[in-house]
């Protein structure tokens, strides 16, 4: 029979310590999303380039990143890049680079589908108006594509919040890492990691529900 005496006071006593880790988690997720959005746009443009070399580079980056485990990529950035370039990389920087590159490879597909969904007639109308290809893309195609890709981009933010917990492996002081440190001192992993799981749920679940509602509203329009 399961007998266990819960000690939630060990969690409440370290509440500020854990919330400091949560703040780090959210900051990492926000910074990474911005970088991933920029990187995803670059990869998407490479994928759709009319130049075969650029297209091959974009496709290769996306395929390699999407088909290798994210944890392996983080460890590669943290341990291998310093060996290759002879420069020390902080754990936080390595986490942001690894997560941004990983998410960029998926966001590029979101961008590509959004760009390709813009009606061809809109591009032709821009040419008739005398707009250059860059002006046509910047003023006509990109605004429409971004509007259609906003819900998937928001979903990527939810994914980043969860993926940021992998930073615990390379000692980034986000909430999961702080939970590991706390459970190593209070010997209460059940209470500690249950609390952390609940925190993740009450952040990610409302965001996921809001995104679904947003997607339905856009589809209705």
For 100-124, what is the mean pLDDT? 85
pLDDT of residue 219: 67
Tokens representing 34 are 């911005």
Report the C-alpha gap between 101 and 59 in whole angstroms.
Answer: 14
35-56 as b/e, with b when 16 or more CB fall inside 10 Å? bbbebbbebbbbbeeeeeeeee
- What is the spatial distance between Cα 116 and Cα 37, in angstroms, rounded to a whole number? 17
Cα dihedral across residues 89, 95, 96, 100: positive or negative: positive
Q: What percent of the chain has pLDDT over 90?
A: 62
% of the chain with per-residue pLDDT over 70: 97
Place 133 in a pLDDT band, splitting at 50, 70 and 90.
confident
Give the model confidence (pLDDT) of 146-159 as tens digits.
777 877 888 888 99
- Say what the pTM is: 0.88
Residue from 143, 104, 111, 101 nearest 45 by CA: 111
Integer Cα distance of 176 and 47 in angstroms? 36
Other Cβ atoms closer than 10 A to 175: 27
Q: Residue 164: name the closest of 183, 152, 146, 177 by CA.
A: 177
Radius of gyration (C-alpha) of the chain in whole angstroms:
21
């Amino acid at each position: 029979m399961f007998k266990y005496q819960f000690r939630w006071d060990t969690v409440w006593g370290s509440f500020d310590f854990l919330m400091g880790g949560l703040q780090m988690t959210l900051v990492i997720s926000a910074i990474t999303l911005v970088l991933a959005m920029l990187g995803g746009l670059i990869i998407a443009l490479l994928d759709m380039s009319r130049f075969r070399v650029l297209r091959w580079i974009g496709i290769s980056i996306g395929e390699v990143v999407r088909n290798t485990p994210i944890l392996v990529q983080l460890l590669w950035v943290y341990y291998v890049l310093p060996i290759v370039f002879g420069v020390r990389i902080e754990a936080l920087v390595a986490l942001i680079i690894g997560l941004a590159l990983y998410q960029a490879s998926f966001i590029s597909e979101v961008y590509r589908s959004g760009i390709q969904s813009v009606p061809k007639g809109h591009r032709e109308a821009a040419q008739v108006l005398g707009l250059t290809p860059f002006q046509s893309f910047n003023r006509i195609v990109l605004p429409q594509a971004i509007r259609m890709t906003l819900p998937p981009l928001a979903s990527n933010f939810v994914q980043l919040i969860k993926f940021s917990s992998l930073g615990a492996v390379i000692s980034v002081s986000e909430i999961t890492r702080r939970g590991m440190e706390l459970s190593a001192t209070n010997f209460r992993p059940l209470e500690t990691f249950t609390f952390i799981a609940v925190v993740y749920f009450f952040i990610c679940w409302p965001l996921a529900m809001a995104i679904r509602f947003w997607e339905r509203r856009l589809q209705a329009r």
